[in-house]
Amino acid sequence: MSKSYIKCPKCNTVNLNNEYCSNCGELLDLVLKRRLETEKKIQFKIDEQEKSKKPPNKFEIFFNKGLEHSNLFIRYFFQTIYSIWLFFAVVIGGIIAAVTAAAAG
């Protein structure tokens, strides 16, 4: 078995066949160190995404219940309102995009 001497970047102690420094406990294996850092970043992103999820407000709950209602007339009424809302949202968004494009030159 080959001997590998690794010098600790933190305390400059020379270690023989160790993943951790015998003096200060610093991680010496660079591949393992990078893997742990990557896993920590991924876990941080997952935690941030879970924190940013918001529960639906009362209007969204009411509207979704209307779109899934068992009565056909109520469901069509909500679908009509939703279609009108979507149309005006697209038109207003298009106007904002056109004004922004005209201002940009």
What's the pLDDT score for residue 1? Answer: 56
Provide mean pLDDT across the span 40-68.
89
- Residue-level pLDDT at 9: 83
Task: Give the whole-number percent of the chain exceeding pLDDT 70.
Answer: 99
- Per the CB < 8 A criterion, the answer to whether 67 and 75 are in contact is yes
Instruction: Report CA Rg, the chain.
Output: 30
Place 66 in a pLDDT band, splitting at 50, 70 and 90.
very high
How far is it, in rounded angstroms, from Cα 38 to Cα 40? Answer: 5
Of 17-26, 31-40, 83-92, minimum mean pLDDT range: 17-26
pLDDT for 63 beyond 60? yes
| pLDDT (mean) for 69-96 | 94
The whole-angstrom separation of Cα 14 and Cα 78 is: 73
C-alpha dist (Å) from residue 96 to 29, 62, 74, 86, 90: 54, 29, 33, 15, 10
9 in Cβ contact with 21 (< 8 Å): no
Average pLDDT, the chain: 89
